């Protein structure tokens, strides 16, 4: 069977509704044909990753769409950019990057995108519901939407994301379909100490391990404690989407499409069952560290962007303390969360401690860090995985408490007891 277009789809492709949606629809038609889709479906929202400047092609494409009257057809949020417009002095970029970054941001806002500039659109109260079809780009947003919210998005990358936003349509394929959402691989936690099982540091490490083992398959995890917080699921999904290509996971007993393992598997048998013990977790943790012996120059947290609850936790940890001389401490977050945290007073507590807040972007993709000759510590599996290649730094991974204690001491401190049997 071949792809069937609705009358409205054909009108868009023919240019009846303008040049920009015509180009977008023609691109989406080729994508649909390559994926073997039979039809297009409506979406209720989009999240665009293309607003992060990677080169001239992305800027040319966006400015062409904007210049020909492109306007988004559904509510559309915008991912992180190359600049921090609220704190411009934090970004150490040359004039060319600043110019290109601003132009790209302007093109997407001109097309009706909401200038959220965050990788975590799900932290807004305005987020999709269970079963809602959306077109989200940004790997951690994709995996969170599919897994934690139970919304339905396939993997949408640069250019395809804005095409979906301009048309309000996507091919009915991939994770929009029931058959592709069932778990294929089951991971069972075995013999993990209670202290580690209840610690936030478990989740980025477990996500890193599972991403490496599953690639793009949908995993199910058995043995997590009940009531896993959203921030832990966020850290897990981001790490799994970075070390692998995980776009959906099932935490049995926690995520909405996995009340039981049988439900997560869709009634089928798993292709593989993998036991995860303490030794495997320790090995995965060590993969996220490139260096432990050396000078600590910076700490970076908030990848994905910090939530309001994470601000509260960090403020409690740093209250009355001071970051050591020579150590930079950055929190990456969204404008919306920053405003809420400022209203509560937690931002003031962090600034008194010597912590800088980064918005609109993230320190592993934008030149923010001043000192790169030492070691940067993080509690993010995603940051630890990407930063060495992206910005050329040595990384030490630890918990949020480890990061705070290290920043205050000016040297790397990690609680090894939580990783002991």
Q: Say how far residue 91 (Cα) sits from the centre of its chain.
A: 21
CATH code 3.30.499.10 region(s) in the chain: 288-419
pLDDT of residue 183: 98
The CATH classification number of 7-177 equals 3.30.499
* Residue 92: other Cβ atoms inside 10 A: 11
Q: Are 167 and 28 in contact (CB under 8 A)?
A: yes
303 SS3 class: strand
CATH code 3.40.1060 region(s) in the chain: 182-286
* Residue 233: other Cβ atoms inside 10 A: 21
For the domain made up of 182-286, the CATH class stated in words is alpha beta
- Residue 358 neighbours by CB under 8 Å, 6+ apart: 84, 87, 90, 302, 330, 331, 332, 333, 368
Q: What is the mean pLDDT of each run of 10 residues along the chain (421 residues)?
A: 93 96 98 96 98 96 98 98 97 95 98 98 96 98 98 96 98 98 98 95 98 97 95 98 98 98 97 98 98 94 98 98 98 98 98 98 96 92 97 97 98 95 75
Report the distance separating Cα 43 and Cα 167, nearest Å.
Answer: 9
- Residue 50 neighbours by CB under 8 Å, 6+ apart: 58, 61, 62, 79, 108, 137, 158, 159, 161, 162
Q: Which residues of 361-375 are buried (b: 16+ CB within 10 A; e: fewer)?
A: bbbbbbbbbeeeebb
pLDDT of residue 31: 97
Report the distance separating Cα 46 and Cα 134, nearest Å.
Answer: 6
Handedness of CA 27, 28, 33, 35 (dihedral sign): positive
Report the distance separating Cα 416 and Cα 421, nearest Å.
Answer: 10
Task: Fold for 288-419, please state it.
Answer: Aconitase; domain 3 (3.30.499)
pLDDT of residue 371: 78
pLDDT of residue 1: 75
Report the distance separating Cα 163 and Cα 160, nearest Å.
Answer: 5
pLDDT of residue 269: 98
pLDDT of residue 71: 98
Which of 416, 361, 417 has its CA nearest to residue 390?
Answer: 361
pLDDT of residue 373: 87
- Residue 202 neighbours by CB under 8 Å, 6+ apart: 192, 196, 232, 281
pLDDT of residue 317: 98
């Amino acid at each position: 069977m071949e792809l069937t277009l609705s009358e409205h789809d054909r009108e868009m492709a023919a240019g009846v509704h303008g040049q920009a949606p015509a180009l977008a629809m023609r691109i989406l038609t080729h994508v649909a044909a390559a994926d073997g889709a039979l039809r297009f479906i409506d979406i209720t929202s989009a999240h665009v990753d293309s607003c992060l400047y990677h080169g001239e092609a992305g800027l040319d494409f966006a400015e062409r769409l904007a210049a020909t009257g492109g306007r988004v057809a559904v509510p559309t949020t915008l991912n992180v950019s190359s600049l921090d417009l609220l704190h411009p002095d934090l970004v150490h970029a040359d004039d060319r990057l600043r110019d290109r970054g601003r132009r790209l941001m302007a093109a997407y806002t001109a097309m009706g995108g909401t200038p959220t500039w965050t990788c975590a659109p799900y932290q807004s109260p305005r987020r999709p519901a269970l079963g809602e079809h959306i077109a989200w780009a940004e790997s951690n947003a994709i995996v969170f939407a599919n897994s934690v919210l139970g919304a339905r998005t396939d993997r949408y990358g640069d250019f395809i994301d804005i095409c979906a936003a301009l048309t309000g349509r996507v091919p009915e394929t991939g994770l929009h379909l029931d058959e592709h959402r069932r778990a294929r691989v089951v991971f069972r936690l075995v013999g993990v100490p209670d202290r580690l099982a209840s610690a936030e540091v478990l989740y980025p490490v477990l996500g890193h391990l599972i991403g490496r083992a599953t690639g793009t398959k949908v995993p199910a995890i058995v043995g997590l404690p009940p009531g896993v917080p959203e921030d832990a699921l966020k850290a897990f999904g981001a790490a799994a989407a970075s070390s692998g290509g995980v776009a959906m996971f099932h935490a049995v007993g926690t995520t909405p499409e996995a009340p039981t393992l049988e439900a997560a598997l869709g009634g089928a048998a798993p292709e593989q069952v993998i036991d995860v013990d303490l030794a495997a977790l320790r090995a995965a943790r060590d993969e996220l560290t490139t260096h432990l012996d050396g000078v600590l120059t910076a700490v970076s947290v908030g990848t994905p962007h910090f939530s309001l609850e994470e601000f509260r936790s960090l403020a409690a940890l740093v209250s009355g303390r001071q970051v050591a001389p020579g150590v930079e401490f950055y929190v990456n977050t969204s404008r919306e969360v920053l405003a809420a945290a400022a209203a509560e007073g937690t931002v003031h507590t962090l600034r008194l401690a010597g912590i800088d807040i980064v918005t609109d972007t993230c320190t592993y993709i934008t030149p923010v860090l001043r000192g790169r000759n030492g070691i940067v510590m993080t509690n993010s599996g995603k940051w630890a995985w990407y930063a060495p290649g992206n910005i050329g730094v040595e990384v030490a991974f630890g918990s949020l408490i480890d990061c705070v204690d290290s920043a205050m001491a000016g040297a790397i401190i990690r609680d090894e007891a939580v990783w002991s049997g």
